[in-house]
Amino acid sequence: MNKMTKKERIIAAINKQEVDRLPFSIWYHLPQVDQDPVQLAEMQIEQAHCYDLDFIKMMPFGNYSAHDFGLSVTFYCTETQPAFERKFAIENAKQWTELEPLPGCFGSHGKQLLFARQIQKQLKGEEIPYVQTIFSPLTTAKKLAGPRVFEDMRSHPEYLHQALVAITETTINFVKLNIEAGVAGFFFATQCANKEWVTEAEHDEFGVAYDLKVINAYKDITYFNIAHIHGDNTMFEKIEKYPCNCINWHDRWVAPGMAEARKLSDKCFLGCINEKWLSQAKPEEIRSHIKEGVLAAGRTGLMITPGCVAQLDTPKINFYAARIAIEGL
């Protein structure tokens, strides 16, 4: 078949149509530049050209959604150490009631909006889709308080609900401005759809209810919308029902695997690369690793990506090897 553009390839995969080759992307943190939206955009576009990526998964620092609500963060600004929480913002349950909705262009949210605008500007019309990373409201709450969020959920549910309303409104404000900045869609990451932390009923009340409000703000506007399920022992079947057209999870080391997931979902899958294994792999092993995933998933409705953020110590040659490996699969 004729060679597709990157956007055509992505849309075909989403629609479970034939592609000229499987779409490919990788992503990892860039802590040495992720406080400068201009340079971060430069580096992510450089990555896209270097590895011939079919889309850019934008990589703001992982705590940006909580930073503006009072989370204290240490920024190391080195290639080997991502930003990390220094002090949680919520130290007692009553403090949840102090959170108020913020504009989508405020503080660290504003910095990530500038990041999206810079990608749009620096691409200069080049047609490569880029998706902004956002977090579920409950995930942002967990970033604000750590594990105590689950204690407060049970002891003072009304306080946490009040906070989640403010976080949700803030996230939607941010989403709307990113749509104006030309994003193809959103990488919606949930770290709390985990049976070790919450029951399914609790996740329905404190997770799903707010998640859907965020997703409904963009699902009919953007065309490339990914639900990322983080961690193990997850509620895959619950998140699979979200109105996103793509799912990404740790498919190579967390259930369900690709073959089983195909029985549970008709969405486009992003995966087949074990992001932990990739950092230690020999380049010559990577093609067989990816091929194994493709055989399990089937070639239709599939993009080759890591199951989550690639580790910072992954040799760059392994990213090249992964891109080369998809030829002919």
Mind listing the pLDDT tens digit for each residue in 177-227?
999 999 999 999 999 999 999 999 999 999 999 999 999 999 999 999 999
pLDDT digits (tens, 9 = 90+) for 29-60: 999 999 999 999 999 999 999 999 999 999 99
pLDDT digits (tens, 9 = 90+) for 263-288: 999 999 999 999 999 999 999 999 99
Instruction: Measure the CA–CA gap between 329 and 308, rounded to whole angstroms.
Output: 22
Q: Which amino acid does the sequence have at 101?
A: P
Among 2.40.110.10, 3.40.309.10, 3.20.20.210, 3.20.20.100, what is the CATH number of 24-249? 3.20.20.210
Q: From 3, 65, 58, 8, select the one nearest 33 (Cα to Cα).
A: 58
pLDDT digits (tens, 9 = 90+) for 12-22: 999 999 999 99
pLDDT digits (tens, 9 = 90+) for 101-141: 999 999 999 999 999 999 999 999 999 999 999 999 999 99
37 cis-preceded (ω within 30 degrees of 0): no
Please state, rounded to an integer, the average pLDDT across all residues of the chain: 97
- Residue 4, pLDDT > 90, answer yes
Instruction: Measure the CA–CA gap between 205 and 90, rounded to whole angstroms.
Output: 21
- Residue 305, pLDDT > 90, answer yes
- Say if residues 329 and 290 touch (Cβ distance below 8 Å): yes
Burial 97-117 (b: 16+ CB within 10 A, else e): eebeebebeeebbbbbbbbbb
Confidence of residue 237 (pLDDT cuts 50, 70, 90): very high
Cα-trace Rg, the chain: 19
- Cα separations in angstroms, 115 against 13, 70, 224: 27, 21, 18
- Cα separations in angstroms, 58 against 44, 132, 138, 224: 8, 5, 21, 13
Orientation of helix 157-180 relative to helix 148-155, angle to 10°: 120
- Say if residues 183 and 218 touch (Cβ distance below 8 Å): no
pLDDT value for 69: 98
- Residue 1, pLDDT > 90, answer no
Q: Which amino acid does the sequence have at 18?
A: E
* Residue positions counted in the chain: 329
